[in-house]
Each structure stands twice: as C-alpha cells, then as structure tokens.
A and B are shown apart, each in its own frame.
Chain A
Amino acid sequence: MNDVSSGSKVGCSLRYSGKPVSENHVLNLLNVAVWAPNDGLREPWRFIFMGPGSADIMRGLQEQAPAYLVLVVKEEQDLHKREEDFAATCCLMQNFRLLARESRLHVRMTMNDWIYDRAYAGRLGVQKDERIVSVLEMGYLEQTLEPAAAENRPGFTFELL
C-alpha cells in the first residue's frame, strides 16, 4: 500500500470543522447536478457515499475528510461512447462542485492512483464494466479559503479559423 495515494497534494491538509456532511444535502445537490448534458440520456453515472465510519476504508488512500463521494461511470464497449460518458460525468461533477460552493460545502477533487487499481475499486463494489472517475473529499472548513489570484492561472489560446 506504499504510494497508492500519490497524486493527492501532500501538505495541504485542510482544517475541517466538526460539522457533519449530511447525506440528504449531498443528494439534494446531486439531484440538481444530474441536469448535466449526456449523450442519448444514458446517465452513465452512479454514486458511492461514505460518511461517518468511512475512515477505515479510506485510510492510506485519501486524505482524512468528514465524507467522501465516489463518482463511478459505466464503461461501454464502444470507445467513443465511453469517452462521451466520461465527459458527461465530468460535467455532472462540475455542476456538483459549483452547487457545493454555493452552499459552503468544501469539495476537494482527487484522482489518485488507486482508483485505477481494479482490486481497490472492487472493494468499494465497483464492477468490471465500471470505473471510478474521481473521489470528492467533502467537509465544512473552519475558515474559508481565499481563492488564488486569477493571474496565477496559465492562459489558453483562442484562435480564429
């Protein structure tokens, strides 16, 4: 189990307050987030929620957090559909993050190495025709984080055809 958690930013441990993350609140946000565009209305996603008592499952894999949401996508045989479904799940995830921010729920998105490991994923009940897209670490912070200055961001090029 040496470095399966690599990819998570070490040293930026967050200070969560004692306030628990309610399952209902996450469901409420998700029921809005599911209005993500998805091809053929396949709605390829499903969710695994881990609240109190999940520390043992996630030890060594994720940073400690009051709750986790695992985003799982079905993997189609067709590679093109598979890519569309991954993109759709990313749109849902972005919706969820925007909504969480509005409700002051802090979300840290992670795609650590272990999510690519069938054995680890299988322990969470992820099937052979599924994969984990990401794990969201969730909690309420003791103090709000200052958003980093926009100038720090690398730009993108915008060309005209």
Chain B
Amino acid sequence: MDFMKTIPERRSIRRFHSSPVDQELVFALLREAQQLYPSGEAAAFRCVYAGTADSRERLAACMLEPLVKNRLVKWLPEKVRDFVRKRVTDIPGHLAVIARNDPDGRKSDMNYAAVCGIMQNFQLVAWQRQLGVLWDTETIMQSKALFDLFKMNPDERLVGIFHLGYFDRVPKARARTRAEKKWTVLPERGGGSVE
C-alpha cells in the first residue's frame, strides 16, 4: 500500500451521496486498520455502527437531545432542528469508536493513542476504497443521551464518530505548515563541542 501517496491525498469528506455503506465493508476496513497497527501495542476499543434508516433516526434523536434541552434552541423554528436531524439521517453510515480508559493515566493515554492510530489507518484504507470519512468530535456528542444509546460504561470514552459515505467531489487541500518550521535539533549545534 502506497501511503506516501494516500496520506497527502486523503481529505475529510462532508458531502456524501445517499448510496448505502455496507456493514461488512466497514467491519473489513476496521480489521485492516487494526492489522496495520503494531501488534505489540494492544488497543482496547469497540465500535457501534449505524447504517440503517432506523438506527440513523435513533442516533439523530440522541444527538439532538442537548439542543432540545437547551432553552435557546427551543425558540428556534422547527426547521433548524429538522436541518440538524436531516444532516445525520442523510449520511449513509455512522461509526462510533469507543475506547477503554484505564485507572492509570499513562495506560489510558497509550490506549487512546493506539485507538487514534487505528482510526487514522481506517481513514486511509477507506480512502483507498473511495469511501469518504469525516471524524466528528463535536462537543454535542459528549451527551448522556448518546452514552446511553451506545450503552457506555463509566470506564469508556467516546473517541469520535466517523460519518461515512461515497462522494463525488474531492475537497481542495488546505496547505500544511512544513515540518522544518516546527523543528528543533538537540543537542544544539555550534555549542562548542568538536567531533
């Protein structure tokens, strides 16, 4: 697999077509993503997939709950709520990724880092199959309604929800800062030591 090519080509996709995303494919991509991660570093996580019309409706209802409870939004026309709801139900697939926390902060960080690594692998292998992904980390997702929907335990954290679908248009690249501009070399050179 040519990651030199895939990594800079990948874009976050925000406009999807309506064609469905097969759950078997999502599972296969997850397996592939996990296998690309070094096996010595175990990652404890689980995934929940919403790919049917009914499951997307239930997901949308839970994502809306913090908005509905917020008084300000109650005054907003029904249209606005419908817009948010439709945004969720129109996207063909949603994949929630849930990581296990450890009482030891360092172990939690290691597991979270591993799960993020696997999620990046997933984005890359999905791209290679022309499947678009948006990694959503909106604060709206850290709600009790969603945690209940995913039957989350107190020792779990929602790392993000991937919105998935096929797409027509590849968004333009947003240029990155060169690594040289964020680069320090130690020990500092010219400090008097001679080889």
Known contacts being A153-B34, A159-B47, A161-B49, is A32 close to B7, with CB within 8 Å? Answer: yes
Taking the nearest CB of chain A, how far is it from the CB of B15, in angstroms? 16
Q: Which of B113, B159, B185 has the most chain A CB atoms closer than 10 A to its own CB? A: B113
Residue pair A91, B8 in contact (C-beta under 8 Å) = no
Interface SS of chain A: mixed
Residue pair A36, B30 in contact (C-beta under 8 Å) = no
Known contacts being A156-B47, A160-B51, is A102 close to B4, with CB within 8 Å? Answer: yes
Taking the nearest CB of chain B, how far is it from the CB of A26, in angstroms? 8
Total contacts A-B at CB 8 Å:
170
| B170 at interface, CB cutoff 8 A | no
| B149 at interface, CB cutoff 8 A | yes
| B70 at interface, CB cutoff 8 A | no
Taking the nearest CB of chain B, how far is it from the CB of A144, in angstroms? 14
Q: What's the tally of chain A residues with a CB closer than 8 Å to chain B? A: 61
Known contacts being A116-B106, A154-B42, A154-B44, is A160 close to B112, with CB within 8 Å? Answer: no
Docked Cα-Cα span, A134 to B112, in Å, equals 12
Residue pair A158, B47 in contact (C-beta under 8 Å) = yes
| A105 at interface, CB cutoff 8 A | no
Residue pair B113, A34 in contact (C-beta under 8 Å) = no
Residue pair B179, A30 in contact (C-beta under 8 Å) = yes
Residue pair B48, A90 in contact (C-beta under 8 Å) = no
Stretch touching chain A among B71-79, B82-90, B115-123: B115-123
Docked Cα-Cα span, A95 to B12, in Å, equals 15
Q: What's the tally of chain B residues with a CB closer than 8 Å to chain A? A: 69
Provide the residues of chain B in CB contact with A150, threshold 8 Å. Answer: 35, 39
Name the CB-closest residue of B to A99: B3
| A124 at interface, CB cutoff 8 A | yes
Residue pair A148, B112 in contact (C-beta under 8 Å) = no
Docked Cα-Cα span, A153 to B179, in Å, equals 34
Partner of B7, one of A33, A49, A93, A134: A33
| B154 at interface, CB cutoff 8 A | no
Taking the nearest CB of chain B, how far is it from the CB of A120, in angstroms? 13
Partner of A47, one of B8, B119, B184: B184
| A80 at interface, CB cutoff 8 A | yes
Known contacts being A41-B174, A99-B4, is A161 close to B59, with CB within 8 Å? Answer: yes
Residue pair B27, A45 in contact (C-beta under 8 Å) = no
| B103 at interface, CB cutoff 8 A | no
Query: Which A residues form the contact surface with B (CB < 8 A)?
Result: 7, 9, 23, 27, 30-37, 39, 41, 43, 45-51, 53-54, 56-57, 80, 83-84, 86-87, 90-91, 93-95, 97-99, 102, 109, 111, 113, 116, 124-125, 133-134, 147-150, 152-154, 156-161
Q: Which 7 A-B pairs have the closest CB atoms?
A: A90-B116, A30-B179, A94-B117, A46-B182, A91-B120, A161-B55, A161-B50
Q: In the complex, given contacts A86-B113, A109-B41, A148-B39, what are 6 additional A-B residue pairs having Cβ atoms less than 8 angstroms apart?
A: A37-B120, A41-B174, A50-B186, A93-B117, A98-B7, A156-B43
What are 24 inter-chain pairs, A to B, with CB distance below 8 A? A31-B178, A32-B7, A33-B179, A36-B7, A47-B184, A49-B184, A50-B187, A86-B116, A90-B117, A91-B117, A94-B37, A95-B7, A98-B7, A109-B38, A111-B106, A111-B113, A133-B113, A156-B43, A156-B47, A158-B47, A158-B49, A160-B48, A160-B52, A161-B50
